[in-house]
Chain A
């Protein structure tokens, strides 16, 4: 009986370590996480066509190149 309890405890310890290990590994693979950041001041201008038109003077551009 005592032998069985010991085996159970050992099994539980390994199982818990495995679960913790998988969680840590996953965090490493997935990297960080992008958190929302308040940006209402940016939005106030970039949603307004009139403001954007007034603030931006287009330069001369070229395009449509190669391959």
Chain B
């Protein structure tokens, strides 16, 4: 990205409430024309702490944001607690901590990461020439961290189709409530425990006994998630190895990425997701993913490489719902024994569909 895409400020920003404060009010630095001296001691990201400058006027938001998963990246921290042992990221000499601090933590989002700039993981810089945006531009912010999967699929950058909701002009926040971004004040452990949107929030009448869609009347609502019929192929990564770069950062390189569609068994039905069949996505973790930085993952075999995927490329008609037998008897769309790779975890086998739904006469 060129300098003007990152650091150019539009003149009318200076007329806004934020702009009238002057650059130095938030960023520090010196009001002099020498470049080096002007930038000495300045703060590039004044919102890096939720107790920083944003809290002065937006305290009710920064207070809950301190507990939000976008701020804490707790979901990624849990990965290490689960795969290695609880508290491993507190150990200063741990190679796993090096990986977390120098790779995963790049997705830690400050207020400014969305409302004024791009996330660090997407190259940073001002997305709207320093205009603060109440609704951040999806392609510059959400996509920056979620682009290889959900946001990329939603926008049609990854896979074979866009999401119908994207085609209709909907933004992430049209489904996801603001609490999914700003938090609630309760410390969030995983994305699954927050108040996520559901298809039935808008399409509830489609799953009633009087549904106009025959397939909806024939299949109980807890048999499968909506994506089993209405999602398309998604992005799957295989065999990732983390390596320490000369500049101290850690890069994760996947050996392969494949766009494919798999339905598996739900290993942990919950009241929110009681389904027997679920859409899947393969995650590229190997037992030796971090072997160049730390040891093997001791609990690797306890967690599946195939995960529940709320795939974000919904269409009314898909290859697997065109007719009953597009799905029934179609062994290629179900996770089979032979789909489990040699270096996948043992737990992955629990999701294999050993008896696929029989074809209909």
Q: Do A and B come from one complex?
A: yes
Contact of B21 with A by CB under 8 A: yes
Question: CB-CB contacts of A29-51 with B at 8 A, as 1s and 0s?
Answer: 11111111111111111110100
Which of chain B's residues have a CB closer than 8 A to the CB of A52?
3-4, 7-8
State the CA gap A45–B35 with chains docked (Å). 9
In contact, B147 and A34 (Cβ under 8 angstroms): no
Which of chain B's residues have a CB closer than 8 A to the CB of A54?
3
- CB under 8 Å from chain B, chain A span 4-58: 29-47, 49, 52-56, 58
Contact of B40 with A by CB under 8 A: no
State the CA gap A36–B14 with chains docked (Å). 12
Question: CB-CB contacts of B1-26 with A at 8 A, as 1s and 0s?
Answer: 11110111111001000001111111
Q: Given A65-B107, A65-B148, A37–B7 Cβ distance below 8 Å?
A: no
State the CA gap A63–B151 with chains docked (Å). 13
* Chain A nearest Cβ from B189, distance in angstroms: 15
In contact, A37 and B25 (Cβ under 8 angstroms): yes
Which of B9, B23, B25 lies in contact with A34, CB distance below 8 A? B25
Which of chain A's residues have a CB closer than 8 A to the CB of B95?
none
* Chain B nearest Cβ from A48, distance in angstroms: 8
In contact, A39 and B3 (Cβ under 8 angstroms): no
* Chain B nearest Cβ from A53, distance in angstroms: 5
In contact, B7 and A56 (Cβ under 8 angstroms): yes
In contact, B121 and A67 (Cβ under 8 angstroms): no
- CB under 8 Å from chain A, chain B span 81-131: 107, 121-123
Contact of B29 with A by CB under 8 A: yes
* Chain B nearest Cβ from A37, distance in angstroms: 4
* Chain A nearest Cβ from B267, distance in angstroms: 19
Contact of A2 with B by CB under 8 A: no
* Chain A nearest Cβ from B34, distance in angstroms: 9
State the CA gap A65–B234 with chains docked (Å). 14
Which of chain B's residues have a CB closer than 8 A to the CB of A66?
107, 145-146, 148-149
Contact of B152 with A by CB under 8 A: yes
Which of chain B's residues have a CB closer than 8 A to the CB of A42?
22-24, 29, 31, 38
In contact, B23 and A36 (Cβ under 8 angstroms): no
Which of chain A's residues have a CB closer than 8 A to the CB of B59?
29-31
Which of chain A's residues have a CB closer than 8 A to the CB of B30?
41
Which of chain B's residues have a CB closer than 8 A to the CB of A65?
107, 121, 145-148
* Chain B nearest Cβ from A52, distance in angstroms: 4
Which of chain A's residues have a CB closer than 8 A to the CB of B148?
64-66
In contact, A35 and B25 (Cβ under 8 angstroms): yes
* Chain A nearest Cβ from B27, distance in angstroms: 8
Q: Given A43-B14, A53-B2, A55-B35, A64–B25 Cβ distance below 8 Å?
A: no
In contact, B25 and A56 (Cβ under 8 angstroms): no
Which of chain B's residues have a CB closer than 8 A to the CB of A61?
1, 122-123
Contact surface of B with A, Cβ cutoff 8 Å: 1-4, 6-11, 14, 20-26, 29-33, 35, 38, 53, 55-57, 59, 107, 121-123, 143-150, 152, 191
